[in-house]
Every structure is written in structure tokens, then in C-alpha cells.
Structure 1
Amino acid sequence: MCFSATASFIAGTGLLAIGVIAIKRSKNTPQYVLACIPVVFAIQQFTEGLLWLAISEAEYARWRQLAMYLFLIFAQIVWPILVPTSILLFEKDRLRKKILYILLGSGVLAALYLGYSLIYYGATATIENHHIKYQLDFPFSGKVLRGIPYMLATAISPFISSNKWLRLLGWALAISYVFTAFMYIDYLTSVWCYFGAILSALILFIIRKTSYN
């Protein structure tokens, strides 16, 4: 499987169209927030497409740092806040809402830590074996301060939902994460975001289904 600037731009274009349709079909605040996810993913994929060009072609080199940091802001800061927030807004069960608030708090802590680390420790991005490899030299980057709070917010929160369609999205994301971690561990940030972007197309289906609830 090969990823490239073309793959990122095609994914971004498709997701932008899906997001616009999802927003138009949304009828309430929870649906509107959920519908924004494909749009945000589309912007993220466009930024990675630009990063591909900036790394591989000299005429785009001046955009390299901007594109890399924009992609990482989405990957490291936006998602651990937006994902649990979108799930929380749908929830009506009081106990599940309390748990989701805790997971949102976990996501906020992860975003604060990762945002601080991006500013003070920086990052690099290189093309390796047809993938973009992000090197994040953050303290404790793979342990408590990054891994657990981030995963609680992004991967676990859909499973807490009482909505079966949101749990379906959770299963899709979890399976894609396990597959990516097994097959592309050195390129996890880029590849899982790509799969997550593609899977966010399910949101249009979810909005259609929840409109009848």
C-alpha cells in the first residue's frame, strides 16, 4: 500500500464533499459538530499532501515547516478534544456523560502536553518507504503523558456512547489502529490519521441514521 501527495489530496477532496453533505443534512448541534469531523480531516489531509510536496520538491520547500506543524496540530491537539466532545454532545445517559466528561478531560490534558511539546521540543518529518515519518522528540512521548490520555479520549470515548452507530465508528477506528500499529508502527501518526480520515466517511451514514431517532 503506497501513500503519497496524490492519495492525501484525493482523500481530502472526497472528505470535504462528504463533510459538506453531512453538515447540510444535520439538524441539531450534536450532528453539526459530528459533521465537522470529515471537514477537519479533509483539511488535515490537504496539509499532509502539501507536506509531501514540500519534502520531495524544492519549489514547495518553504511550506515544509508550516505544513508539518499544521498536520501535527490536528493529529496531536485537535482530535483528543474534538472526538470526545462530539460523542458527549449526543449522550443523554447521565452516567455515560460523566464518563465522557472524564475522557474529554483526559483529551484536554493530552492536547496541552502535546501542544507544549510541539512548541518547546519541535518535530521533524521525512519520507521513508513511501510514508511520512514524524519524529517527535517529546519527553515521555510514548508513555503516560501522551499515549494513555490520548487513546482514552480518541479511541475509547465512542465505546462509552449509548448510540450504537457511534460505537460502530469506535470499532472501525480501533480496528484500524490495531492494523496500523501492527503493519506501520514507524509511521503510525501519518497512516492512522489517513485511515481515520477515510473512516470518517461513516459519519454521513451515522447522521442519516440518528436523524430518525
Structure 2
Amino acid sequence: MCWSAAADLTAGTAIATAGLVCVAGVVRARRPRELPVAALPLLLGAHQLVEAAVWSSGGGCSPAATAWAVIALPVLPVWVPFGVLVAAAPEVRRRLWAPAAVGLATAAVLAYCLATRPVTAEIRGHALGYGVNVPWMPVVLTGYLFATLGSLLLAGDRWLRLLGAVLAAGALACSALWRLEFASTWCAFAAVASLLVLGRARRPAPASPVT
């Protein structure tokens, strides 16, 4: 991941295909509340395909870079916590409103930044670095991670808690190893890790009550 346009294209296609399998599994099991979570690999796979276009454009200020930033920044901190909230059991939902609310606030700030400032991408060896001028970056980043990772870690579902733990470890590793390319490398890692959702989506449907 993040090594070249071909790597992003191959990985994005595979992950998006797995996402389609997740969605189909949830539809077959008639669990519509789980569709946003099941579609997460599909969204992140498409995100990697967009990054392949960023590679092909040579970086710079391009529509592909802006599209990548829209998904990575305002979309994910809303999609993840609200997807988890909708899918959660009733007794778990109360504790999930906090990351959902923080995600909305964080996404609003990031959406404003993307609407008023250009997004640039720079090829740095085998990774991409994205430039977005975001004020109060430590606060915004904390809100972003609480919305995305916090909602998963607080979920009552073991698959989602596992995904949250894996992504938290990945965030630490990406921050330590690729500080300047953190957004790109973490999103790539998240795309691969989201395949854990496949195991969740393939759970058998609950048995119908006997009347």
C-alpha cells in the first residue's frame, strides 16, 4: 500500500470487492442496520483507487487529491461513529453518542478547511504526503481519532473492537514511522484492516423465532 499507483490500484480493487461481499452478506442476512459498517471496506477500497489517481497525476493540486481528502477527512469521522451507532445494540448506544457528536464537529471543521483552502499532494519516495491547512491541528486530530477509533473501541461487537484495536496500533506505527505521510499511510492501513468487517458480515443470520 502507498508504494505506487499500481499497488493502490491492486489493493483498492481487492478491498472494494471484499466490501461488496460484506454488503451482499448483510443484505442476505437482512440486517439493514449493519449496512454502513459493512460498506466500510467498500468505501476505503474506493479511497485507495482514488489515491491511485493521485499517483498518476504526479501529485500537486488535483481533483483526485481533493477527492481523497474529502473521504479521509470529513467523511470518515462521520461515517464510522454513526455506522457503529446505528449497528449497535440498544444497551450500547448511549456511550456511542459522544464519538458521534465529536465526529460531526470535527468533520465540520475539516469540511470548512477543504472548502476554503487548496489540497496538495506530494510524492515522497514510496509514499504520498497531503497538505491541508487545518487550524488547531492537535485538537482536530484528537477529535478525529476519538470519533473513528473511540467509536470502534466502545462498540459492544467483538469484531469492531478488534478493528479499533488494530487501527489504534496502526495509527501509532504510522505516526512513528511515516510522520510526514501519516494521513496516507494510516488510511491505507485502515483499508486493509477494514477487511475484519468481512468476518463480521459473514455471521449467520439469527434464527427466526418459532411460532
> One fold, TM greater than 0.5?
yes
The 1-side partners of 2:2 and 2:190 are apart by 16
AA partner of residue 81 (structure 1)? V
The 2-side partners of 1:73 and 1:211 are apart by 34
* 1:130-176 deviation per Cα after TM superposition (whole angstroms, max 9, x unaligned): 11111122222x221x1121111001111111111111111111111
AA partner of residue 186 (structure 2)? W
Aligned to 2:114: 118
- Give the TM-score normalised by structure 1: 0.89
Is contact 1:93–1:162 with CA below 8 Å preserved after alignment? no
The 2-side partners of 1:172 and 1:16 are apart by 19
Is contact 2:103–2:143 with CA below 8 Å preserved after alignment? yes
Gaps of 5+ in 2: none
Aligned to 2:150: 156
The 2-side partners of 1:100 and 1:130 are apart by 37
Is contact 2:2–2:8 with CA below 8 Å preserved after alignment? no
Is contact 2:16–2:45 with CA below 8 Å preserved after alignment? yes
The 2-side partners of 1:99 and 1:31 are apart by 18
- Give the TM-score normalised by structure 2: 0.90
The 1-side partners of 2:201 and 2:2 are apart by 31
User: Given the superposition, is the C-alpha separation of residues 39 and 2 from structure 1 closer, same or farther in structure 2, using an over 3 Å criterion?
Assistant: closer
Is 1:202 the counterpart of 2:196 in the alignment? yes
Deviation at 1:207, TM superposition (A): 1.4
Gaps of 5+ in 1: none
Aligned to 2:81: 84
2:186 to 177, 189, 192: 192
* 1:36-73 deviation per Cα after TM superposition (whole angstroms, max 9, x unaligned): 111111211111100100017xxxx8xx5110010000
Deviation at 1:93, TM superposition (A): 4.3
The 1-side partners of 2:135 and 2:204 are apart by 41
User: Given the superposition, is the C-alpha separation of residues 103 and 125 from structure 1 closer, same or farther in structure 2, using an over 3 Å criterion?
Assistant: same
The 2-side partners of 1:112 and 1:66 are apart by 20
Give the aligned CA root-mean-square deviation in angstroms: 1.8
User: Given the superposition, is the C-alpha separation of residues 68 and 2 from structure 1 closer, same or farther in structure 2, using an over 3 Å criterion?
Assistant: closer
Aligned length: 204
Aligned to 1:106: 102
User: Given the superposition, is the C-alpha separation of residues 24 and 102 from structure 1 closer, same or farther in structure 2, using an over 3 Å criterion?
Assistant: same
Structure 1 stretches of 4+ moved >6 Å:
none
